[in-house]
Amino acid sequence: MTKNYYEVLGVERGATQEEIKKAFHTLAHKHHPHKGGDEKKFKEINEAYQILSDKERRAQYDQFGQTSDGGGFDPSWFWGKGSNSQSEFDFNDLGDIFGDMFGFSQRGQRKKDVRRGSDIRIEIEIPLEDTIKETKRVFSIKKIISCSRCQGIGAEPGASVSECFSCRGSGYVQQIKRTILGSFTQSVICPECKGDGLRPEKPCNVCKGEGRIKGDEDIELVIPAGIDTNQSMKVFEKGNAGRRAGKTGDLYVRVIVKPHPVFERRGDDLFSTKNISFSQAALGGEADLQLLDKTDILLKVPAGIDSGKVLRISGKGIPHFGGYGRGDLYVELKVKTPARLSKKQKELLEKLKEEGM
């Protein structure tokens, strides 16, 4: 079954543009890969929105893109049920042709980005301590870097770069496609210059005319306070270098916060436990407590507190990401029963026992 874009967004066929936009924003926020969502589902949602948010494309989809089972475009509508002629034609070509016919071809976008380097996605682990203040991390990644010999142009130093003879500098050539609808002239990326529109007179000996090579680069990353697991940061133009001085891609860094042996993070709040003696629980007093940033404070223990009681320390949790203030620290008190007692301790406890304690 092919796709039903209305079902993908969870809206009725007669939904308004505002309802479609609202449904898209809700689903995109839920399934965004940067927030731990399903990347495949996110792409499907985006595809549906691109069609239904455009009046012309939506009208075309409503008129031609529905089959009796409620799915999307069905190739058998063109051939008739049971036809075996489909093997003679590539439906990917048909999609490109319709793009040209109805004015929504992305050819211009492909031409614009043809030399752009690809994005890089990596994952780094940080300790919980690094989330309480802004920190800097320097690490090395393997990537495609600009060729230092030709400065990314792709030509030997001193050699000229001329217009591609095949495409006359446009980056595209015309190609005739034979289809069931007849013959169509279609623009495709020039195989000679790979869409650049230019060709070096003498290709660089190091990068072979690509303008880029494999290498390593040190990246300095500023990690903001309050960041949490599965949040990502975008570092502009730190991805793979583009072909022949093309624009560099971006770097996406997904952060994983490692578990801490003492503190547990829940949102921006921290949780821990503190052992206290029976006398501290009965009489009250103060107990030493070390915070996540290694500073020591005195925890006030109320007299007569029960084991398992949780005390809240305001503002000693994780800073709010991108905002002001901090979460809280919750400390669960556990009364520790000694396994071994001295003779004097036993005598004292015996007296307390006689007093009904």
Which residue type, as a one-letter code, is found at position 204? C
C-alpha of 169 from chain center: 36
What is the DSSP secondary structure assignment for residue 266, as one 8-state letter?
Answer: E
Which pLDDT band, with edges at 50, 70 and 90, does 150 fall under?
A: very high
What is the DSSP secondary structure assignment for residue 244, as one 8-state letter?
Answer: G
Distance CA 27, CA 43 (A): 11
pLDDT digits (tens, 9 = 90+) for 304-313: 899 999 999 9
More confident residue, 343 or 110: 343
Query: Does the fold of domain 115-152+209-258 match that of domain 5-113?
Result: no
Radius of gyration of the chain (CA): 33
In terms of CATH architecture, what is 115-152+209-258? Sandwich (2.60)
Q: Indicate the CATH number for domain 264-354.
A: 2.60.260.20
Q: Indicate the CATH number for domain 5-113.
A: 1.10.287.110
Distance CA 251, CA 241 (A): 11
| CB of 60 closer than 8 Å to CB of 54 | no
pLDDT over threshold 70, residue 82: no
Q: Where are the domains of the chain?
A: 5-113, 115-152+209-258, 264-354
Which pLDDT band, with edges at 50, 70 and 90, does 89 fall under?
A: very low
**Helix axes of 55-64 and 91-102: crossing angle, nearest 10 degrees:** 130
Q: How wide is the angle at C-alpha 272 spanned by C-alphas 271 and 278, nearest 5°?
A: 135
What is the DSSP secondary structure assignment for residue 66, as one 8-state letter?
Answer: -
Nearest to 224 by CA among 136, 354, 92: 136
Which pLDDT band, with edges at 50, 70 and 90, does 292 fall under?
A: very high
How high is the mean pLDDT of the chain?
81
Looking at 11-20, 38-47, 121-130, which range is the least confident one? 38-47
pLDDT digits (tens, 9 = 90+) for 55-68: 888 888 887 764 33
More confident residue, 353 or 4: 4
Residues constituting the chain: 357
More confident residue, 288 or 166: 288
